Amino acid sequence: MNKRLEEIFEEKQIFYKGNDKPFLSLENNSRNVKEGSVFFAIKGTTADGHRFIPDAIKKGATTVVVQDKGIAQSLKNEYPQINIILVENTRIAQAEAARKFYNYPDKKLKIIGITGTNGKTTTSHVIAQFLEAYGKKTGIIGTTGYKIGNKIISEGRTTPDAIQWFGLLDKFRKEGAEFVVAEVSSHALDQYRVYGTEFDAAVFTNLSHDHLDYHKTLEEYFLAKKRLFEQLSIEKPAVINADDKYGKRLIKEFKNAVSYGKVTQANLRIISYKPCDSQTCIYFEYKGKRFGIKTSLLGDFNVYNMAAALLTLIKIGVPLEFLIEKAPIIKPVRGRFEVIEKDGIKVIIDYAHTPDALENVLKSINKIKEKRIITVFGAGGDRDREKRPLMGQVAQKLSDIVIITSDNPRSEDPMDIIKDIRSGLISEKDVFVEINRERAIKKAINMAEKGDIILIAGKGHETYQIIGDKVLHFDDKEVAEKYLKKAAAQAAAQEKC
């Protein structure tokens, strides 16, 4: 894809023009630069991209984008053959340039953005499944990967950087997508990764304690989430959880807000819900009309995820009658309250990695438990430390037995993370520590009896574990199935004796 300087940058941004070569790619990582690239020197939280400008030029960058006038002047003197673009914010400039470079792909798609601490992945997958059933080819961008239908485009962060974001939208357009449903993280909003995108709907699921290693305070975290709705035009729906205290703030601030929840003033009101035939029956009220659906999504929190999806789809024009009819075929997302069972022992795999998410999952399990709840969990390294003792409190309060283990320790000592978790415990009664995650899962299964439920929390769909600088294969579901099978075989052998 060839573009000229004036096609993607404003005249006032062109500090110095050293060549008239067409752009072949946009890059923010010097390792990916090739002949004809534009290199954006991004000031990050851990590294300053301006340091890598010489490497980028050596590899063939013909244009460099900076946000420091002194650096721009030095580059002009040292590299007279290079175009120098001077901007106030390289992240914003990167998004604006990428949108132009890929010919405004967001204008050719209907894009639904979903933000919140918990529920983004399930809500996005539910919306996408309904749209596909409605005959609309739909792309998904989120924690479980970037895909269209059953075709995986690529994997990466929850929300890719601006260059990848608009490039991905362009790929979806070329694949024939009409809709894209995207998880939009607080990091992405704070770093302008989706800046300039025309969203057709925005969804707020909830906000609770997470990512305070990055945002420092809950208020900063909320203000980052709020940017998605500030970006939404007034005629597009802002779908907001009315039962969440931060959701209430958004509803007051945005005239295009429509809400879901249990409160009487919610546009889509949750009347009641109950387990029915291994599924969930949910009863709603919308515009004075009451209706019910049956879904295979389990857990109280999934009632909210379904409500968010339904209201979003209604507001973008999908008939309610169609949604009621198709609700039973919507499948749960891998690693989100995913149930496997053998010989009367249930194992639930869930991505819950915040105090609020863990509490929601355990409260739902307590409603269906027959005997004990055994919870296996840890906390990620190099991330928000404040949530660790809170997770320990929640697990102990709502479980009968707790096994604390490793999650993705990254560069931290796993025992330091476990120590932080244990600092929130009231007592050590019925609490076990097993640093090795596989052995922790094995321990839980070996101590389980018929009627017990084991929750393995924190990693969900992930098929890896990050220990130090190594990424090792690890799948909670795979490990649980292995030891459930072994336990069943041992029980069968004992019966024969």
Which region among 191-200, 203-212, 294-303 has the lowest average model confidence (pLDDT)? 203-212
353: pLDDT strictly greater than 60: yes
Same domain, 300 and 407: no
**Mean pLDDT over residues 490-495, rounded?**
76
Strand 470-473 with 464-467, pairing: antiparallel
Task: Select the highest-mean-pLDDT range: 38-42, 484-488, 493-497.
Answer: 38-42
Percentage above 70 pLDDT, the chain: 97
Q: Angle at CA 276, nearest 5°, toward 275 and 282?
A: 65
Strand partners, 37: 25
Residue 104 has a pLDDT of 97
490: pLDDT strictly greater than 80: yes
Residue 226 has a pLDDT of 96
Q: Which of 329, 352, 385 is the last residue of a domain?
A: 329
Residue 209 has a pLDDT of 62
What is the domain-level CATH number for residue 484? 3.90.190.20
Same domain, 218 and 310: yes
227: pLDDT strictly greater than 90: yes
CA-to-CA dists, residue 435 to 98, 378, 407, angstroms: 44, 9, 9
* Residue 46's pLDDT band (cuts 50, 70, 90): low
Q: Which of 280, 296, 329 is the last residue of a domain?
A: 329
Report how many domains make up the chain.
Answer: 3
**Mean pLDDT over residues 293-304, rounded?**
95
**Mean pLDDT over residues 245-265, rounded?**
97
Same domain, 318 and 345: no
User: Of 287, 293, 319, 315, nearest to 306 (Cα)?
Assistant: 293
**Mean pLDDT over residues 444-469, rounded?**
95
Phi–psi pair at 227, nearest 5 degrees? -55, -30
Residue 150 has a pLDDT of 79
Model confidence, pTM: 0.91
154: pLDDT strictly greater than 70: yes
Domain of residue 226 covers 104-329
